[in-house]
Chains A and B, each alone.
Chain A
Amino acid sequence: MYQMLKQIIKTGIKTETPPHADEAMRLVEQRLQQEILDVFGGALAIRMVDAGSCNGCELEIHAVNNAYYNIEGLGIKFVASPRHADLLLVTGPVSRHMEEALKRTYDATPEPKLVVAIGDCGCSGGIFAPDDGSENYATCGKVSNVIPVDVVVSGCPPTPTAILQGILTAVSAKK
C-alpha cells in the first residue's frame, strides 16, 4: 500500500485541458434543446460499438480513458448497455455481419440519443470500400448507411483529442 501511495503522489496529476467543440465535425444540425444539453454536458453515458473496425480506433478510444485525456473527469463514462446510454460511439466499416446488431443497439438506446461515428472507415468506409464505388460483399460501408449519425470524427485512427472533441461537439449547442 505504501508503494502504491508513493507512486500516486510521485505521478501527480497528468490530466490536460480538454479540446473545444468543433462545428466542422457535425453532420446534422443539433437536435437537442439547450436544457437537455446542460444535463448531458454534466454527465454523459456512452455505449461503444465496434461494428467491424480493425481495432485501431478502439486503441484510441481506450486512450481517452487514460489520465492524460481523463474523459471521466469531464463526467463522461462508458457504460455496458445501450439501455444506459445517451450516446453511441461507433467504429466501422459496418460489416454486414454487424448490421443487425448495430441497428438493435441503436433501437435499444433511449431517446434522445446521439451517434458519433469514429475513424475514416466509420465516416466513409475507408480502405475497406472499393475505389470504384462498387459493392464490397461483406460491408455496408460508413456508419450513416445503417443508423443516423450526428457527428463524424475522421482519422486513421483519430487521435484521442479528436475523439474527445467529437463527443463534446455532439453535446454542445451551436454557437
Chain B
Amino acid sequence: MPIKHPNLKLSRMTDAIPAWTGEIAPDDLYEICRQVRDGGGRLVALWGSDARQRGFMLHVVLVNETGMVCLNVLLSADQPAYPDISRIFPAANRMQRAAYDLLGICAQDGHDHCKWLRHGVWQGFPLRKDFDAAASRIDEQDNYPFVQVEGQGVHEIPVGPVHAGIIEPGHFRFSVIGERVLRLEERLGYTHKGIEKRFESMSLQQGAALAGRVSGDSTVAYAWAYAMAAESVAGVTPPGRALWLRALLLERERVANHLGDLGYLGNDVALSFGFAQFWMLKEQVLRNNAALFGHRYLMDRIVPGGVTVSLDAGGKRIIEEECAMLEREVNILRGIYEEHAGVQDRFIGSGRVEPKLAAQLGLCGMAGRASAQAWDARVQFATAPYDKLDVRMATYRNGDVAARVIVRFDELFESLRLQREILTNLIHEEDAPALLEKLPANGFGIGMVEGWRGEVMVAIHTDAEGKLTRVHPHDPSWQNWPLLEHAIIDNIVPDFPLINKSFNLSYTGQDL
C-alpha cells in the first residue's frame, strides 16, 4: 500500500493502474497530504460530489511511485468545509476555488477565497443536485481582484479574453516596466460551458463523446481515460487488439500535436518556414487519420469496452510509410532549427522554469519533463499495452523554451518508434469486442492516460441505478497554468507568445 496512516484504510480499486481508495475524516486530510508530499508524491486532481444522503464528498487524488490513491473526505451537509491543502500542494489552490464555485464546499482556513470558474453571470452551485439552472441567471460585474503592482514606471497591460490570434479565450494581466514583465496574473474560466453538469444527464456512450470534447486537441487521451474509468467501474478488460489500437491512436495524437506546435514555435520567432513545413507534415498525418480511421482528430474512436476502428495490412503499410517519411523530414527540420542562430537565440533561456520550482509547484507532463520532472504515466504505471513497449521517457533539465522544444522532438521520434512497434504487435484479428452498455450501481473508477500535454485523468461515479451521477475530467493544464506565471517573470512582453506556445496549455480543459 502506498500510504500508511492510522485512520486510513485503503482498498484496492479494480483499475488498470495500481490505485487505492479510502475514506477519511476532514481532520486527517492535511496530515496525509503532508506525508505523501514528503515522500515525493504529488497532487493529481481534486473535486467534489454531492452525496447529500450523507453529506458532500471531497475527492483528492494523490500519486507516488507505488501508485495512485483517491482519498474520499466526507463533509457535513450543513457546513461542508475541509482543511486547505494548497500550502502543501500549491496546485490545489485553483482546484479548491473551482470546487467551491461549482459545489459550495470550502477550504476553510485557506487564504485565497477568490472565485475561479464563476465570473458573474450565474449564481448558486451547479453541481448540487437541487441546482436550478433557470433561476441561476444573474448579471453582475466580474470585478476580479487582480494584484496591483505599484512603483515608479510600472504599468499594466490587460490582454484578452479575445486574443490576437487563433487561440482560446482567457485574460492575462501583465505588470511591466518598459518591456520587462514583473508579474503576470491569469484569469481563466471564460470557456466554462458546464461540462461536468452536462455529464450528469448523459448515458455512458454520450458521456464518451463528451469526454472526447473536453479538450479537442487531446480527444484520444480523454476518450481513453474515460473508457478506462468505465472499464474499472465495470471490472472488465478490453481485448488486447483494442488496447494496441488505442495506443496507436494516442501516439498519433501526440505526433500531430507536437508537429503543429513545433511549426508554431518557429512561426513565433519569425521563421515562417518552420510553420509551413511542419504544418504540411501535420496535414499528412491528419489525412491519413481520416483515410484509415474516419476522423482527422480521431474523435469518438475509443469507446467504453473497446474501439470503433480496425486496421488492415494496407493501413499498416500506410502508417509505416508515414513514419519513415516523418523521421526523414523531421530530422532535416530539427537540424535547421538547431543551426539557426536567430531561432536558438530566442529559444534558449526564454521562459525558464528551474527544476526546483517545477517540483515545488507540481509542474507535470511534457513541460514538467523539460524541467527534470521525470514522470510519464506510460513509464511509471505502464498499463497495457505500454507494459510491453518500454517507453523511453524524454527529459531535460534546462526548463526553457529550448528544452521544451527538445523534449517535443525527442517524444515525437519516440512516438514514431512506438507506432512501428505497435504495428508489429497488431497481428491477428480478434472477434469484435462486446462494448460496454451499462455500468454497475454505486461504482467508482478512475482512468489516467499520458496525453501529449501530460496526464489526463477521468473519474466516474455511478448512482444506485448505474447511471453517471458525477464525472470529473482533469487536465494537466490545472497544474501547469500557474507555472506559466512564473516562467514569464523577467522576460520581455514580446516573448510571451513564444513562451505560452512552448507550454501550449488548454483553456477549455481547465475551464470545463
Interface 1/0 per residue, B324-347 and A, CB below 8 Å: 000000001101100100000000
Candidates B137, B283, B507; contact of A55 at CB < 8 Å: B507
Task: Decide: A67 and B279 in contact? CB cutoff 8 A.
Answer: yes
* Bound form: Cα–Cα A99–B299 in Å: 27
Contacts of A14 in B (CB 8 A): 280
Within 8 A of A (CB), among B156-170: 161-162, 164-169
Contact of B246 with A by CB under 8 A: no
Interface 1/0 per residue, A1-45 and B, CB below 8 Å: 001100110010010000000000000000000000000000000
Within 8 A of A (CB), among B361-396: none
Closest to B120 in A: A97
Candidates B206, B260, B511; contact of A62 at CB < 8 Å: B260
* Best-surrounded residue of A82, A93, A99, A138 (most CB of chain B within 10 A): A138
Task: Decide: A63 and B279 in contact? CB cutoff 8 A.
Answer: yes
Within 8 A of A (CB), among B42-92: none
- Check A3/B134 contact, CB under 8 A, given A52-B193, A55-B168: no
Contacts of B191 in A (CB 8 A): 50, 52-53, 95, 97-98
Within 8 A of B (CB), among A151-166: 156-157, 159
Closest to B210 in A: A127
| Chain A: minimal CB distance from B22 (Å) | 33
Task: Decide: A127 and B166 in contact? CB cutoff 8 A.
Answer: no
Contact of A54 with B by CB under 8 A: yes
Contact of A147 with B by CB under 8 A: no
Candidates B134, B195, B297; contact of A135 at CB < 8 Å: B134
* Bound form: Cα–Cα A127–B507 in Å: 18
Contact of B296 with A by CB under 8 A: yes
Candidates B126, B168, B277; contact of A11 at CB < 8 Å: B277
Q: A interface, how many residues as a size bin?
A: 35 or more
Contacts of A62 in B (CB 8 A): 166, 260, 279
Q: B interface, how many residues as a size bin?
A: 35 or more
Task: Decide: B201 and A130 in contact? CB cutoff 8 A.
Answer: yes
Task: Decide: A101 and B194 in contact? CB cutoff 8 A.
Answer: no
Contacts of B216 in A (CB 8 A): 53-59, 157
Task: Decide: A67 and B280 in contact? CB cutoff 8 A.
Answer: yes
| Chain A: minimal CB distance from B86 (Å) | 24
Task: Decide: A136 and B277 in contact? CB cutoff 8 A.
Answer: no
Task: Decide: A97 and B190 in contact? CB cutoff 8 A.
Answer: yes
Task: Decide: A66 and B279 in contact? CB cutoff 8 A.
Answer: yes
Contact of B213 with A by CB under 8 A: yes
| Chain B: minimal CB distance from A85 (Å) | 11
Interchain Cβ contacts under 8 Å between A and B, 11 examples? A3-B339, A51-B169, A55-B508, A63-B279, A66-B276, A66-B280, A97-B121, A127-B210, A128-B195, A137-B122, A157-B297
Sample of 10 more A-B contacts, CB < 8 Å, known A93-B193, A95-B190, A101-B162: A7-B273, A55-B507, A57-B216, A66-B276, A80-B165, A96-B119, A97-B190, A101-B161, A127-B210, A138-B192
Top 10 nearest A-B pairs (CB, nearest first) are: A56-B216, A80-B164, A138-B194, A66-B279, A137-B133, A54-B216, A54-B213, A96-B121, A55-B216, A52-B191
